[in-house]
Amino acid sequence: MGFLEIFLIAISLSMDAFAISICLGLNENKKGFFCNFIPGLYFGFFQALMPLLGFYAGTLFAAQIQNLDHWIAFILLGLIGAKMIKDGLSKDESEPVGNPFACLKMLMLALATSIDALAVGITFSFFRINIFSAIIITGLTTFCISTIGVFSGKFFGVKLKSRAEIFGGIVLILLGVKILLEHLFFG
């Protein structure tokens, strides 16, 4: 798995954080300029941490399921992608209430948006991948996309939220299909 695949996965994983950041940007009119970077810091950190945890969990049992790794990656990425598409198509446009940047609220949002990254980290353990490069790419990508999301929320509103989740879901599903086809026909 090369840089491009990891970067595309990072973009896809960050779509949930982007969608939440848009909503946070909608509510962030009275905060200072540096508050625009708070979601990126939280989301970027957790999107980097969870694949690392998943990677090490996956390495514990990767040797036992090596013949099925491409199917597991396909299923996990497909399920995550389908959930993102489903969420993007849902009509629930709830917005954060109160201080959108409160520490506990940001921790919960960051954890909730990074659970899928844990599963992706497990799939990383099946490939020859430098996990530290992967988590740096994922964390920085999520930081940038989340920060863009906050600014976008101020300007464009909720319309971007569902499109971002749908796009991210489609990319994850396509990556899962690519992994499966490469292993079945070219590996």
Report yes or no: 36 and 144 within 8 Å, Cβ to Cβ: no
Reported confidence tier of residue 131, pLDDT bands at 50, 70, 90: very high
Residue 158: CA atoms inside 13 Å, Cβ hemisphere, count? 11
d(C-alpha 18, C-alpha 36), whole Å: 12
Locate the domains of the chain by residue range: 3-186
With vertex at residue 53, the alpha carbon angle to CA 13 and CA 176, rounded to the nearest 5 degrees, is 40
Say if residue 96's pLDDT is above 50. no
| Token pair listed for 162 | 């569902």
Of residues 7 and 101, more confidently modeled? 7
Give the model confidence (pLDDT) of 167-184 as tens digits: 767 877 887 788 788 778
Of residues 69 and 158, more confidently modeled? 69
The residue type of 74 is F
The residue type of 67 is N
Give the model confidence (pLDDT) of 38-63 as tens digits: 999 999 999 999 999 999 988 887 66
Reported confidence tier of residue 118, pLDDT bands at 50, 70, 90: confident
| Token pair listed for 167 | 């796009």
pTM, 2 dp? 0.71
The single residue listed with the structure tokens 């497909």 is 78
Element housing 163 (H / E): helix 159-181
d(C-alpha 37, C-alpha 144), whole Å: 9
- Tell me the Ramachandran region of residue 117: left when phi exceeds 0, alpha when psi lies from -120 to 50, beta otherwise: alpha
The single residue listed with the structure tokens 């292993």 is 183
- Helices 103-124, 69-89: inter-axial angle, 10-degree rounding: 150
d(C-alpha 107, C-alpha 109), whole Å: 5
| pLDDT score, position 159 | 60
